[in-house]
Amino acid sequence: MNILAIESSCDETACAVVKDGREILSNAVASQIDIHALYGGVVPEIASRAHTEAINGIVARALNDAGVSMKDIDAVAVTNRPGLIGALLVGVNFAKGLAYSYNLPLIPVHHIRGHIAANYVYYNGNDAPEKLEPPFAALVMSGGHTSLVNVKDYTEFECIGATRDDAAGEAFDKVARLMGLEYPGGAKMDKLAESGNEKAVFFPEAHVRDFPYDFSFSGIKTAAINYIHTNEQNKTEICKEDVAASFTASICRAINSRLEMLFNSEDLFKSGKLALAGGVSANSHIRKSVSELCEKYKVKAYFPPLSLCGDNAAMIASQAYYEYVNNTGNFYNYALNAYATCDISK
């Protein structure tokens, strides 16, 4: 079954064709990073307009790269939640039109479910990774979300914990911006941290009373921002590498303390498998520290390839396949809307 998927929830206009939920036939992405970098962050209305301009071409490119035409497509999928509402509307309405005109099913996909599915896909049979199948635990860290999820089945999710305030990516981007790094700063912080001393500054991480699996990154972010501002006021030079390394170490501590608790929980963690997902899961230091923890607890760790950590449509097509085969909706209902709600279990 070939699914053509569209993703436009934030600042990437993407289209992919994926066979049977696993094999990527094409994966086209038009990034708007250059446009938003001027403003230091995503400007929603500009994002919507840029999606409108890019979407036709990106769908044509995905079909062309896959070497197929619409007659080879069995269903259209689209991210319909959560995301920037204007940006989502562009993808949802384009997908509706495409599905309606070719009389194809239209499969709505939750963006975070999609990120998790980035662990299922591969580019061709030869480089297929070890097949990940539910049940497993997933830690999704993106620009807007940080969630620890039990993936009980391909379409059955239980949220164990989530951030109470900022997502990990948001915290990375804000601290990076204050140090003069261009948007999105996460990847640049990753690079800077390589040559920094992670013990140079202590940024305390917060825990949420009575909700041990929840995250809170705004405190770490504020601690780093205060450190930078105080040094500015005192006219003392900061070592950006040290700030990046210390900040990353603090994020790693926050992540690993929750994971360690999870690995020790016989109730919540029975699968022995953990998958990372989302843009922040590209971070080399986080990948290393999570790998080490998994090794210690003999947990099998899965990481998407770097090219599939950020927003893309291949992950949406993959999740759509499982939504379709598990019959989770009326896929001929072209009245589909873009919703702002973001409960992954629904």
In angstroms, rounded to a whole number, what is the distance separating the alpha carbons of residues 126 and 110? Answer: 29
Candidates 4, 6, 10, 77; binder of ligand KG4 (CB under 6 A) is 10
Name which of 113, 1, 14, 13 is nearest 314 in CA terms. Answer: 14
Among Zn ion, ligand KG4, none, residue 173 binds (CB under 5-8 Å by kind): ligand KG4
CB contact at 8 A, 213 and 161: yes
CB contact at 8 A, 69 and 25: no
CB contact at 8 A, 151 and 322: no
Long-range pairs of 38-41 with CB within 8 A, sequence gap ≥ 24: 39/183, 40/177, 40/183, 41/173, 41/177, 41/183
Q: What would the x/- binding string for Zn ion be over residues 272 to 311, using CB under 5 A?
A: ---------------------------------------x
Helix (H) or strand (E) holding 14: strand 12-19
169 is an interface residue for ligand KG4 by CB under 6 A: yes
Subset of 154-173 contacting Zn ion (CB under 5 A) = none
CA 173 to mean position of chain CA atoms:
14
With CB under 6 A, what is the number of residues at the site for ligand KG4? 20
Give me the least distance between CB of 267 and Zn ion, in Å please. Answer: 29
Cis, peptide link before residue 135, omega less than 30° from 0: yes
Q: Which CB, 196 or 310, lies closer to ligand KG4?
A: 310
Give me the least distance between CB of 87 and Zn ion, in Å please. Answer: 12
| CA within 13 Å, CB half, 194 | 8
Window contacting ligand KG4 (CB under 6 A); options: 19-27, 142-150, 212-220, 314-322: 142-150
Q: Which CB, 242 or 311, lies closer to Zn ion?
A: 311
Name which of 157, 165, 126, 104 is nearest 277 in CA terms. Answer: 157
CB contact at 8 A, 268 and 219: no
Give me the least distance between CB of 92 and Zn ion, in Å please. Answer: 16
Among ligand KG4, Zn ion, none, residue 172 binds (CB under 5-8 Å by kind): ligand KG4
142 is an interface residue for Zn ion by CB under 5 A: yes
Q: What would the x/- binding string for ligand KG4 be over residues 178 to 217, using CB under 6 A?
A: ------xxxx-xx---------------------------
Long-range pairs of 285-294 with CB within 8 A, sequence gap ≥ 24: 285/190, 285/193, 285/245, 285/248, 285/249, 285/252, 286/141, 286/248, 286/251, 286/252, 286/255, 289/252, 289/255, 289/256, 290/139, 290/252, 290/255, 290/256, 290/259, 293/256, 293/259, 293/260, 293/263
319 is an interface residue for Zn ion by CB under 5 A: no
304 is an interface residue for ligand KG4 by CB under 6 A: no
166 is an interface residue for ligand KG4 by CB under 6 A: no
**Tokens for 197?**
């001393």
Among ligand KG4, Zn ion, none, residue 118 binds (CB under 5-8 Å by kind): none
143 is an interface residue for ligand KG4 by CB under 6 A: yes
Q: What would the x/- binding string for ligand KG4 be over residues 258 to 297, using CB under 6 A?
A: --------------------xxx-xx--------------
Among ligand KG4, Zn ion, none, residue 144 binds (CB under 5-8 Å by kind): ligand KG4
List residues binding ligand KG4 (CB under 6 A).
Answer: 10, 142-144, 169, 172-173, 184-187, 189-190, 278-280, 282-283, 310-311
What residues line the site for Zn ion (CB under 5 A)? Answer: 142, 311
